[in-house]
Amino acid sequence: MLCEIAPELSSSSKDDLKLSRLPSLKKVIMCSEKDLSGSYKFGDLYGAGDSCHKTMLADIATRVKFDDPFNIQFTSGTTGLPKAAVLTHHMVINNAYSTGRRADYDKSHVRICLPVPLYHCFGCVGGVIAGALYGATCVLPSEAFDPEVCLQVIQDERASSCYGTPTMFVDILNVHRRKPRDVSSLSAGVMAGAPCPQELVMAVMNELNMKGLTVKVADAEGQVVRIGEAGELCVRGYCNFQGYWGDPEKTQETMGSDRWLKTG
């Protein structure tokens, strides 16, 4: 896709990249064996650093604040125009830390079956970074999601945690019901990326041996509703993003000045 809008990648110098349609883009790193003269291979990074870069990193570390932007994740691409959500250092590290604590990753060595994409918050923050913080093993079952492979990995690698979207867990459960595997090693997991039906959450807890969580519900005025009343899930705290980059109107629709984020 990148080559379609930047055909010069196949003929340019990677050290002097000049792209007519992307003039601000100066470095391209490919996670691929494809050889493009205008791009670095991911493996090239291993030997690229020296002592001056360590000094530079130490200097930057003294100036970076915890609430500085860390990453921009594009979201809502399937339900509307993609919006660029700005994430902070504090949010990312604490989300990873809290995910691990809530899932008891601090209690013992954890092996995470991680079939979700690594380019978004689920796999990146809740998966890889949480794994790094707690010294967990992250097992990547396959290049694309395959419920058969996931279950085999859970059994063979003795995974103690498994991640997935609701539809991924539906597939995993269906395969497990047809051909049961040994999932006794599982004790935790994370389901995210879409609304999670209660029946599915209960099935995952009961059939895949994972624990559940409790959340609060609010009315249209943001007040907590009584038990048994319907409402909307709202979240406030370090875990929330700063807002949509360059789009205050969309930010206001999702998150008010009181910082409560409406999940819909």
pLDDT for position 167: 96
CA distance 149 to 147: 5
Which amino acid is it at 240? N
* Helix, strand, or coil (residue 194): coil
Strands 217-218 and 232-235: antiparallel
What does each C-alpha distance from 223 to 81, 243, 252, 260 come to in angstroms? 30, 23, 18, 11
For residue 202, pLDDT over 80 is answered with yes
Section 23-52 average pLDDT: 85
> How much is the mean pLDDT over the chain?
89
Q: What is the pLDDT of residues 246-263, one digit of tens each?
A: 999 989 888 888 888 888
Q: What is the pLDDT of residues 217-249, one digit of tens each?
A: 889 888 899 989 999 998 887 678 889 999 999
Residues in the chain: 264
CATH level 3 topology of 214-264 = Luciferase; domain 3 (2.30.38)
As assigned by CATH, the class of the 69-207 domain is alpha beta
CA angle in degrees (0–180, nearest 5) for 107-137-189:
65
Domain ranges for the chain, please list them.
Answer: 2-48, 69-207, 214-264
Which amino acid is it at 157? E
> Which distant-in-sequence residues (6+ apart) come within 8 Å of 206 by Cβ?
none
Which tokens go with 231? Answer: 């409402």
CA distance 72 to 85: 6
Nearest 5°: phi and psi at 69?
A: -60, 135
* Helix, strand, or coil (residue 111): strand
